[in-house]
Structure 1
Amino acid sequence: MHKQRVVFVHGLGSFGSAAWPKQHGMALAYDALFLRRHGFDAVTEPLESNVAADVAILINALVDSGGGHVVAHEQGAISAMLAAVERPDLVHSLSLLEPSCLSLTAELPATASYRALMEPLFDVRNQLNDADYQREFYRRAFSAETGGLDTPEARRSARRLRLQAPPWDAPLHIVPGVPTLVLTGGWEPLYEEIAGYLQETGALRRVAAGGHRPQDSVDGDQAIRSFIADVGRAMSVQAS
């Protein structure tokens, strides 16, 4: 039996399969691919973020299967939406988890407030060292403290964070006709504002526990699985 492809696109933190601990089991029912975005590697030095390269990686992961479902977290949602705009024939559905799609809601209050808070830090990121930038980023974005950079992995992660472009610069558009789920953790007005905007344009909106990673909660994981299964069944009916 042919398995539908599901491609997972990570955010700023962990990458590849490590970013999706609750979704590993989906490989039993689907042809699951856990991507690494441009510049994310366990050994080589991080690179400047490149949304166009991320889009190409995602489209290449969909082409050889004739398309598939896309599940994307945080900044990974930017390349997921852009891929759906470029190749809507390949994207069967979008599941956007705490999507950092700030350019869609640029004029709305929570997004404007977040940008006002974060833009001064982005403006000086090339003047800061990795540790100082990471510390200030987490303090502003999450009101949280970060650990030390006492391992090569931690140092690469901090460098990679500093090399990410501002999320409000992405040229995003709504993708008409692509079934979309937006899942948030209910903790941060910014993401609820983005989710509300997407809901108004036709997305199914769900909230689950888990903070910035609702996909790690039982309810969040179930929301993703149920949505993809429902879309898959509808596609099968249409094809028969």
Structure 2
Amino acid sequence: MSKTPIVFVHGMDGYGAAAWPAQHLLAGTYDCLFLKRTGFDAVEPPAGSDFEADAAIVIDALGSGGHLVAHAQGAVPAMMAAVLRPDVVRSLVLVEPLMLSLTSELPATAAFVARVAQLINRADALADQAFLTEFNTLMAVTVAPNHESLERRASRARLLLTSTGAALHIIAGVDTTVLTGGWEPLYEEVAQALATTGARHEIHRSGHRPHDTAEGAAMLAGFIALADAEVGSHS
């Protein structure tokens, strides 16, 4: 009997399996697919975000159906995929989702967008190290992606900075959980907006990568197990 897939969509701080170190153990129960979004590669030239292409990658990986887990900016193509193909998304878990279009008029999101614009305006005047330091602070990046050179990381960050958001639609009928770290109002605004549409919102006070901690990883696994149990109870 084949295992149910879990498709993992990374944010800006690492890609592939390296972006999900605490989730590897789920491979004992599920078929874990750790994606690489467009522009993230150890060989190909860095590129900006292509959310439509990433959504297509997510849908292809889900196949006939599976769970979908996304972190930070990765929540954008994950939600787009769920809107396009809700029939193949058993559950959606969004960890610290960076989905600016949902809360663009709220204060923390507006302040964040202003800081992004300020860095974009200064980007050409900054050397790679200085730019990357500011970018990483702004985006809460804590994981160096796959031991890449400073030049490659800075090049990708410059491209990603101008593509931090996309127009999104709320998903109807998809079991959705939002996990936040309780440290930054921006992510709490997004989570609260999603909660008004029926999503569960859980907080594990551990920063921007709550899924890296033992408790956060257990919470994430629990969300998926609960979704499986609910599917089983209706089958």
Common fold, TM-score beyond 0.5? yes
Partner SS for 1:136? helix
**TM-score normalized by the length of structure 2:** 0.91
The yes-or-no answer on 1:156 pairing with 2:156 is no
Partner SS for 1:45? coil
- Following superposition of structure 1 onto structure 2, how do residues 60-99 of structure 1 map, counting pairs within 5 Å? 60-63=60-63, 66-99=64-97
Q: Deviations over 1:140-178 (max 9, x none)?
A: 455x9999xxx743332221111113323x011110110
Structure 1 residues 28 and 188: alpha-carbon distance in aligned structure 2, compared to 1, 3 A threshold: same
Deviation at 1:40, TM superposition (A): 0.8
- Following superposition of structure 1 onto structure 2, how do residues 20-169 of structure 1 map, counting pairs within 5 Å? 20-63=20-63, 66-123=64-121, 125=123, 129-142=127-140, 152-164=148-160, 165-168=162-165
- The one-letter amino acid of 1:19's match is A
Q: Which moved more, 1:27-36 or 1:153-162?
A: 153-162
Q: What is the distance in 1 between the residues matched to 2:155 and 2:221?
A: 33
State the percentage of identical aligned residues. 48
Determine if contact 1:13/1:157 at 8 Å carries over to the other structure: no
Indicate the structure whose relative CO is greater, using CA pairs within 8 Å and at least 6 residues apart: 2
5+ residue gaps, structure 1, are none
5+ residue gaps, structure 2, are none
Structure 1 residues 183 and 130: alpha-carbon distance in aligned structure 2, compared to 1, 3 A threshold: same
1:4 counterpart residue number: 4
Determine if contact 1:103/1:167 at 8 Å carries over to the other structure: no
What is the CA RMSD across the aligned residues, in angstroms?
2.2
Q: What is the distance in 2 between the residues matched to 1:92 and 1:140?
A: 33
Structure 1 residues 213 and 109: alpha-carbon distance in aligned structure 2, compared to 1, 3 A threshold: same
Q: Deviations over 1:39-73 (max 9, x none)?
A: 1112232122211111111111012xx11110000
Deviation at 1:125, TM superposition (A): 4.2
Q: What is the distance in 2 between the residues matched to 1:80 and 1:208?
A: 21
1:238 counterpart residue number: 234
Partner SS for 1:23? helix
Determine if contact 1:209/1:220 at 8 Å carries over to the other structure: no
Partner SS for 2:48? coil
How many residue pairs get aligned? The number is 232
Determine if contact 1:118/1:141 at 8 Å carries over to the other structure: no
Deviation at 1:114, TM superposition (A): 1.0
**TM-score normalized by the length of structure 1:** 0.89
2:18 counterpart residue number: 18
Q: What is the distance in 2 between the residues matched to 1:69 and 1:52?
A: 19
Q: What is the distance in 1 between the residues matched to 2:142 and 2:86?
A: 40
Runs of 4+ aligned residues of structure 1 deviating over 6 Å after TM superposition are: 144-147
Q: What is the distance in 1 between the residues matched to 2:133 and 2:170?
A: 33
- The one-letter amino acid of 2:174's match is V
Q: Deviations over 1:84-140 (max 9, x none)?
A: 011111111110000001110011111111111212223554665543432222344
- The one-letter amino acid of 1:26's match is L
Partner SS for 1:205? strand
Partner SS for 1:167? coil
Q: What is the distance in 2 between the residues matched to 1:166 and 1:20?
A: 23
